[in-house]
């Protein structure tokens, strides 16, 4: 026997759970998009640092070859790599010690679904360091 005051309560529960499931899917899509944008930004920083480490000049000191990096060489190589990326900008590129290339890139992520809550987007930064060596 069904009491009259409980009619339709299953429909309300079904609608509530369907809305909850929909919200979870939307959050999952946005979180996945953010993760992929972060990985793309980090990959661009890695590639730019690796290219920057190849911008060395070869010097011979005491009959030993030595690879020496300059800030200009690192920046030039990093700019060439970052220019290929669509929405990544080069923030800084240089060498802290003459044998390492340190590159910092930045991009802005815009959520695909919940962009109404984050209209300006989220700034993502990535820093990578690569060393050059002669063996």
| 26 token code pair | 């939307």
Three-state SS sequence of 72-130: HHHHHHHHHHHCCCCCCEEEEEECCCCCEEEEEEEEEECCCCCCCCCCCCEEEEEEEEE
Token pair 């009259």 is found at 4
- Is the pLDDT at 64 greater than 60? The verdict is yes
The DSSP H or E segment spanning 16 is helix 9-53
pLDDT, tens digit (0-9, with 9 covering 90-100), for 77-131: 999 999 998 889 999 999 998 889 999 999 999 999 888 888 888 999 999 999 8
- pTM to 2 decimals? 0.80
d(CA 131, CA 49): 9
Domain limits of the chain? 7-131
């Amino acid at each position: 026997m069904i009491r009259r005051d409980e009619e339709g309560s299953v429909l309300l529960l079904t609608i509530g759970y369907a809305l909850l499931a929909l919200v979870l899917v939307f959050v999952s899509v946005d979180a996945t998009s953010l993760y992929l944008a972060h990985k793309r930004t980090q990959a661009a920083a890695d590639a730019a640092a690796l290219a920057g480490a190849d911008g060395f000049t070869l010097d011979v000191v005491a009959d030993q070859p030595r690879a020496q990096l300059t800030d200009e060489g690192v920046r030039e190589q990093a700019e060439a790599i970052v220019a290929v990326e669509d929405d990544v900008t080069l923030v800084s590129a240089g060498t802290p010690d003459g044998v390492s290339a340190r590159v910092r890139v930045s991009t802005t992520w815009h959520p695909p679904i919940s962009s109404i809550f984050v209209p300006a987007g989220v700034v993502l930064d990535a820093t990578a360091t690569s060393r050059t060596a002669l063996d």
